[in-house]
Amino acid sequence: MMVATDDFVEADNVEAIISRIEHKSRKIESLLKQSKLVEALKTALEGSPPNTRDERCKSANWIAVHRAIMAMKDLDALFSSLDPEYYNILMKYLYRGLSTGDRPTCDPVPADSRKTHGEGRLGVHTSFPSRHHKYSMMIIAIVI
């Protein structure tokens, strides 16, 4: 009985989470149209569903974050303005992207860039998207 109740509560939450993600996606699209790429990525990373087990929620959020990541061009601006608390969340989505095997997502690009934010803090190794709008692969490693 308790399990059935939990399932019922989870289903309700899932619908709420999905509608929230849809609303977030519309906001991300409008930010991307205004060329506010960093804000779009921050919006995508905020409110990621932390404890849900529903695959639809995870997939819906992943699609929104993926859209924002693929639109990124200036990674210097991204890492200078992104709060460190978002690095872990961003890393998880990047590894999710790397695990898809989808060529446009995983295909690397010519330019490389490495940023390290000092001993004992987050170290980031990234690659930029090319000017010809090819898809990019961002690689982030946490160096502790």
Partner 1 sequence: MANSLRLYLTCIRNTLEAAMCLQNFPCQEVERHNKPEVELKYVYVSMILICRNEAEKCLIETSINSLRISLKVKQADELENILTKKFLRFLSMRAEAFQVLRRKPVQGYDLSFLITNYHCEEMQKHKLIDFIVQFMEDIDKEISELKMSVNTRGRLVAAEFLKQFI
- Interface contacts to partner 1, rule CB under 8 A: 95, 98-101, 103, 106-110, 112, 125, 127, 137, 139-144
Q: Pick between residue 39 and residue 135 the one whose CB is nearest to partner 1.
A: 135
Q: Pick between residue 40 and residue 124 the one whose CB is nearest to partner 1.
A: 124
Q: Pick between residue 3 and residue 144 the one whose CB is nearest to partner 1.
A: 144
Instruction: List Cα–Cα distances, 132 to 73, 107, 129, 136, in angstroms.
Output: 11, 14, 8, 11
In DSSP terms, 126 is beta-bridged to 113
Instruction: List Cα–Cα distances, 60 to 1, 15, 88, 99, in angstroms.
Output: 30, 12, 19, 17
Work out whether strand 123-126 and strand 113-116 pair parallel, antiparallel, or are unpaired: antiparallel
Amino acid letter at 99? S
Task: Find the shortest distance in angstroms from Cβ 106 to partner 1.
Answer: 5
Beta-carbon contacts of residue 113 (< 8 Å; ≥ 6 apart):
75, 76, 126, 127, 128
Task: Find the shortest distance in angstroms from Cβ 136 to partner 1.
Answer: 10
Task: Find the shortest distance in angstroms from Cβ 92 to partner 1.
Answer: 10
Quote the CA–CA distance of 38 and 42 in Å, as a whole number: 6
Q: Pick between residue 16 and residue 142 the one whose CB is nearest to partner 1.
A: 142
Task: Find the shortest distance in angstroms from Cβ 66 to partner 1.
Answer: 15
Q: Pick between residue 8 and residue 95 the one whose CB is nearest to partner 1.
A: 95
Task: Find the shortest distance in angstroms from Cβ 131 to partner 1.
Answer: 15
